[in-house]
Structure 1
């Protein structure tokens, strides 16, 4: 560990920032769980058929395209950063631009999912819903790391990160892709039946 001379005020500001990030993560996690529960509980109570269901399915799929498309774009550029073809600064900027699309798309999917009349007694549907909750929480758990990375120089490479940061980044990437693909595949299988 190297010593970097900083003022006490800077140290206090950094600690306050870390505490505020932990509070933000806790609040967002609680909000994600509540939104997910509300969507699942309302979907059990609401039953729509015919034209309204078909329109809702199209809107749900549009939100999926927006959110997952943004995820794929960020993950692809992240991969390019891993192999040295992009800078960290570019990834941070892209992530900032894509974040509203990702969370807006996810919120739209939760809202429109209420009217899709999911078969909650189907174990595959339960797996899909669990994957949606996990991917939401996974995205929130990435916030502290992204805030730390945003403070690093734009030319920072993967090897410049600590082992913990690399493990955090890679595990969040794997969990994200597994959950998104699980939810998408099960959703399309369920739509066929």
Structure 2
């Protein structure tokens, strides 16, 4: 390891960047909670006919396929990076490209939920809705780590991360997959009854 002098301006920029990242995480987390609350609240007030409900179900499933498909692809490439089969730059580039698909699909899920007449007195439905909120916040909590990863060399490996970064990344991955699969399985169970 070599010593590379860092200028005061560079340190100030990094601190400002970290502050702006914290503000961004706070704003996005607040927006996610508000959007989730709005979706759940409106779902109790909006009732649609059979055709509208069928259309909402189709759009809900389409949004699920888009968002979860992109998540699976990014997580798969992340796993390949973890075992040394991909470079960090590839994973970050794919993650950047998939961001719009993931968040657009999630927005579609929240928007179509309004027209699905969910049974909010069903504990499974409540668990599904909580999983959707947690996975949204979990994705937002990845932003600071992803920004740190983007500053690493493009060929950095998983072992190059600090222990805290590795744990953070793996924890976010587990939470993401657990929440997505919980919401999907409960959604299909509820659709049967």
TM range (shorter): over 0.9
Q: Matched residues in 1 for 2:23 and 2:173: separation?
A: 23
Match of 2:13 in 1: 13
Q: Matched residues in 2 for 1:113 and 1:2: separation?
A: 54
Match of 1:162 in 2: 162
| TM-score, with structure 1 as normaliser | 0.98
Give the C-alpha shift of residue 20 in structure 1. 0.1
Give the C-alpha shift of residue 49 in structure 1. 2.8
Q: Matched residues in 1 for 2:133 and 2:178: separation?
A: 12
Give the C-alpha shift of residue 3 in structure 1. 5.2
Kindly indicate whether residue 132 of structure 2 is the aligned counterpart of residue 126 of structure 1: no
Match of 1:142 in 2: 142
Q: Matched residues in 2 for 1:92 and 1:172: separation?
A: 16
Kindly indicate whether residue 101 of structure 2 is the aligned counterpart of residue 101 of structure 1: yes
Give the C-alpha shift of residue 4 in structure 1. 3.7
Give the C-alpha shift of residue 47 in structure 1. 1.2
Report SS of the residue matched to 1:95. Answer: helix
* Residue-pair matches, total: 193
Q: Matched residues in 1 for 2:84 and 2:17: separation?
A: 30
Q: Matched residues in 2 for 1:190 and 1:100: separation?
A: 28
- After the TM superposition, which parts of structure 1 deviate over 6 Å for at least 4 consecutive aligned residues? none
Equivalent positions of 1:16-95 (< 5 A) are: 16-95=16-95
Report SS of the residue matched to 1:177. Answer: helix
Give CA deviations for 1:127-179 in whole Å, capped at 9, x if unaligned: 00000000000000000000000110010000000000000000000000000
| TM-score, with structure 2 as normaliser | 0.98
Give CA deviations for 1:37-96 in whole Å, capped at 9, x if unaligned: 000000011111311100110011000000000000000000100111000000000000
Deviates further, 40-49 or 20-29: 40-49
Give the C-alpha shift of residue 10 in structure 1. 0.7
Q: Matched residues in 1 for 2:3 and 2:17: separation?
A: 20
Give the C-alpha shift of residue 30 in structure 1. 0.3
Match of 1:179 in 2: 179
- Cα RMSD for the two superposed structures: 1.1
